[in-house]
Amino acid sequence: MEIIHSPSQMTAWANQALGAGKTIALTPTMGAFHEGHLSLMRMARHQADLTVTSIFVNPIQFGPEEDFDQYPKSLAKDAAMAEKEGVEILFAPTVADMYPEGFQTLITVKGITDRLCGLSRPGHFDGVTTVVAKLFNIVKPTVAIFGRKDFQQLAILRKMVCDLNWDIEIIGHPIVREEDGLAMSSRNTYLSVTERQAALTLVKSIKHVRQRFREGETNAEQLRCEAAKILSDNDKVTIDYLSLVDQRTLNDQTVINHDSVFLVAAKVGTTRLIDNTVLFDEN
Ligand code: AMP
């Protein structure tokens, strides 16, 4: 595996690969790898001839009060893990490489960015779409893989790719969980032992909503209330949102169906966690 830091070198590599008739799969990440990231890389290997994983903690997607400075960084360890997964290139640009002085452009997807995480993290998704657009132009992937854990992000990126006529296939990877059900996240390392326990209320709320839907409950408000009760029973948990939305439009629903997705965001202590479940499959 080769580590490339410079965007122009990355593009030169991509041009050569594409010129030789190879396809490229990209898995963009912010590093601090866990099994969720590795699983995306494994999927990538089956989707194209060559795989590129990027690591970039993108400053413009963090709010001023958020954890940009604190975000875990472990390039050497990550590189060893990516190499084991058979990744060809680890692309790890610096902030100055990605946003040189005078950088002035933002990509905004309207509508679906103004709800859910968009409400509590203003500007976050503009940061995400802008950096992913840059990564697409630098790496020139044939296919890009994102986790369904960031469900809204995935929907927004699909919209961006469609609206901008990008010839890139976007694949959503199922959520990878710890044995007890907690969705894997680089931010789980912030949790104390008691907070780690409290974080399981998110999983509990998801399982509850799935179960009640299976039993025939389709009233979104009723399900939201029941889920809220589960989360608010733990004093370490502060709910940001609990939503039942259509999985394509992300519009709120009053009556849910097999196309609905239940999304939860909450702070556990000071750590913001998100999770979700699509109601029609087992993830
Ligand atoms: P991050 O490094 O947190 O920005 O995540 C990089 C990519 O990995 C994103 O597409 C995430 O959705 C995905 N990802 C993170 N955690 C998980 C998980 N537990 N299961 C599946 N995908 C994940």
Mean pLDDT over all residues of the chain? 97
- Is the C-alpha dihedral spanning 241, 242, 247, 253 positive or negative? negative
CA 13 to chain centre: 26
Query: Contact at 8 Å (CB) between 82 and 90?
Result: yes
Best mutation site among 29, 77, 85, 171 for ligand 1 pocket (most ligand atoms within 8 Å of CB): 29
Q: Where are the beta strands (DSSP E) in 105-156?
A: 143-147
Residue 271 has pLDDT above 80, yes or no: yes
Query: Contact at 8 Å (CB) between 244 and 253?
Result: yes
**pTM score, two decimals?**
0.97
Distance CA 51, CA 65 (A): 34
Residue 226, pLDDT score: 98
pLDDT tens digits for range 202-221: 999 999 999 999 999 999 99
Residue 281, pLDDT score: 65
Domains of the chain, each with CATH number or no CATH: 2-173 (3.40.50.620), 186-277 (3.30.1300.10)
Q: Which residue has the CA at smallest separation from atom 19 of ligand 1?
A: 184
Mean pLDDT of 127-154: 98
Residue 280, pLDDT score: 81
Residue 196 has pLDDT above 60, yes or no: yes
Angle made by CA atoms 2, 59, 120, in degrees to the nearest 5: 130
Best mutation site among 150, 157, 177, 274 for ligand 1 pocket (most ligand atoms within 8 Å of CB): 150
Mean pLDDT of 175-197: 97
